[in-house]
Amino acid sequence: MPSETDKKKSKYTADRGWPGAFEGETLTRRGFMTGVAMGAGGVASAMFGLPALGFALGPIFSKTEHRALLDVGSTDDFDGETYVPVVITTTAGIGQAGKTLLYIRENSKPTKKQPWPYVAISTRCAHLGCPVRYIEAARSFICPCHGGTYDFEGGVTGGPPVRPLDRFTTVVKNGRVYVGERFSVNSQLERVSTRDAGEHVDGLWQILYPPRPTT
């Protein structure tokens, strides 16, 4: 014979001897309100958490389309002594907003770390993305917004920028110079994955403030 403890408990609160229970009741008001409060808390957490999670993970699943190489001129148009400003279209169909200015020169002394045949420097300041200008007399790049300065190679010499100016890949075909995708460089001018303005690529900062999955 099954003992009293083996018998299935009644689903009614009155049979269980709960305080304030009513005849035929299976859920107390306290239990109901607890469930409602927990449900509301879950909905509120989802409203804040899901968008943030989607923003963080969304780029991982997005398809990255690589832009075709763009012809920027003959090899005779560039030398290793100064930069030549060139306007390219990075996003077609949106007018002037899809254009950007590059400064290009020949890489007269390629190394293992910097093997590209031509140096194509982005004009987006590595601080907040403001446009920089190359000043021939100073052989430097200057950002007029917050005082960022860069040397002839694009390395930071002063102000708030967190890394050197970005580059664009370069290829030479049949005497013509082509540029491709943008990439970032560290303080040693070694190529790293592309970063947004304000994102670090050196030291402990790049660990404390990691980049987004894609840019």
pLDDT confidence of residue 67: 62
Q: Mark out the alpha helices in the chain (DSSP H runs).
A: 13-16, 29-61, 205-208
Task: Please report whether residue 214 resides in a domain.
Answer: no
* Chunked mean pLDDT (size 10), the chain, 215 residues: 58 61 61 74 72 56 62 91 90 80 90 88 92 94 93 94 94 93 90 87 75 55
pLDDT confidence of residue 124: 93
Which distant-in-sequence residues (6+ apart) come within 8 Å of 16 by Cβ? 9, 10
Task: Please report whether residue 3 resides in a domain.
Answer: no
Q: How many domains does the chain have?
A: 2
pLDDT confidence of residue 178: 94
Do 104 and 192 belong together in one domain?
yes
pLDDT confidence of residue 177: 94
- Of 61, 80, 100, the one marking the end of a domain is 61
Reference 161, options 185, 181, 138, 177; nearest CA is 185
Do 57 and 120 belong together in one domain?
no
Task: Please report whether residue 79 resides in a domain.
Answer: yes
Do 53 and 84 belong together in one domain?
no
Do 119 and 32 belong together in one domain?
no
Question: Going by DSSP bridges, is the β-strand pair 133-135/176-185 parallel, antiparallel, or unpaired?
Answer: unpaired
Task: Please report whether residue 5 resides in a domain.
Answer: no
Do 53 and 80 belong together in one domain?
no
Q: Which domain holds residue 40?
A: 13-61
Task: Please report whether residue 174 resides in a domain.
Answer: yes
pLDDT confidence of residue 114: 84
Do 196 and 106 belong together in one domain?
yes
Task: Please report whether residue 2 resides in a domain.
Answer: no
What tokens appear for 131 in the block?
């446009």
pLDDT confidence of residue 152: 94
Do 83 and 47 belong together in one domain?
no
Secondary structure letter of residue 114 according to DSSP: S
